[in-house]
Structure 1
Amino acid sequence: MRIIKANPLTKESFAPYGEYASIQKPTGNHIGSFYPDQVHLSVSGDLPVAFSPLVCEKSDKMIITTAEFHNTTAEGLLVLDDDVVLHVAPPSKDPVPELTEAFIVPQGTMIKLNIGVWHFAAMPINKDKAHVLIVLPERIYVNDCTIVEYDEKDHMEVQI
């Protein structure tokens, strides 16, 4: 099994996959205490945007066995109450587990994944459960979600 290192989140290293901003410690352009347009999320068609809670459970080891992508929309993830590891791989027609990278995402961070980026559920670092708010067009997980179980030879363990 291949080992991959979870790296700190930086604008440069995460740029191929999307963008992010700290919600708890915002920086940049502001009007008083309001920080507008920190993360941009393009969605498909006329579907309303839906906000869905995801409860991520901690396991003994961070093993990547699965990935998914959306072909018509970006995805937003707001990490609420624990630091997490998020694994991503570049958009492609076929799975590219060999290109997988992992990032440490601090709690309170809003992530935008670009259209087509391979990913799966975040993995809690400190707590037994982490809560993540998922932002996608309504029912896109039924209409536009390709999920792939990797062959065992492509499984990866993430280390911090």
Structure 2
Amino acid sequence: MIIKAQELTVESFAPYGSFINPMNGYEGDETIEFTPDRMMYQVGGRIGSMSSIRIKWRPMEFGVTEYHDECEEVFGGFGCEVVFHVGLVSRTNQPIPESFAVFRLPAGWYARVKRRVLHHAGFVVGKDDVAAGVVLLSPSAYTIDCHVIELEQPIGIEV
């Protein structure tokens, strides 16, 4: 038997599931565009959520970070290299400055950050690069389990 490959469309794939194109769905020209909960899926009786993110070049410094109490976060699948920061929070929910680190995420790779680990959208390395990828979280995590912290001073990144 031979089966001919079909174009992936909402109608043709509906009996089997759903899909997203992380490059589509953005209306503005922002340097970071995040679209939460674009696809929900079953995970052992629980619901998971796939969000999409598009990142354009911006100066390599961060002044905002965030963490989640109840869920971990997985992000990646970008078509270009991205750098991202991580850090730890104290028992009083304040950043521990000496714990900050920055890592290179090669194109196509994924990273998982644990609960209560500081992080935020990464930075594309190339000035002309546009990174589109996915973020896996609990549904609505960005509205019910996201603690955003503005730093007193931005922290620069050296690549």
CA contact (8 A) 2:52 2:132 kept: yes
TM-score (norm 1): 0.65
Cα 1:84–1:47 shift into 2, 3 Å: same
Deviation beyond 3 Å, 4+ runs, structure 1? none
One-letter identity of the residue aligned with 1:113: V
Counterpart residue number, 2:148: 147
Q: Once the two structures are superposed, what CA deviation does each residue of 1:25-66 show, in whole Å capped at 9, x if it has no partner?
A: xxxxxxxxxxxxxxxxxxxxx75111111111211x201101
CA contact (8 A) 1:47 1:138 kept: no
Counterpart residue number, 1:125: 125
Q: Once the two structures are superposed, what CA deviation does each residue of 1:100-158 show, in whole Å capped at 9, x if it has no partner?
A: 10001101111111111000001101243211200001101100000011112xx1110
RMSD: 1.5
CA contact (8 A) 1:65 1:149 kept: yes
Distance across 1 between alignment mates of 2:81 and 2:136: 18
Deviation at 1:90, TM superposition (A): 2.0
One-letter identity of the residue aligned with 2:48: V
CA contact (8 A) 2:80 2:129 kept: no
2:74 aligned with 1:73: no
Distance across 1 between alignment mates of 2:97 and 2:150: 10
**Pairing of 1:91-106 with structure 2 (within 5 A):** 91-92=89-90, 93-106=93-106
TM-score (norm 2): 0.66
| Percent identity for Structure 1 against Structure 2 | 23
Extract unaligned runs of 5+ from structure 2. Answer: 1-44
Extract unaligned runs of 5+ from structure 1. Answer: 1-45
Count of matched residue positions in the alignment of Structure 1 and Structure 2: 112
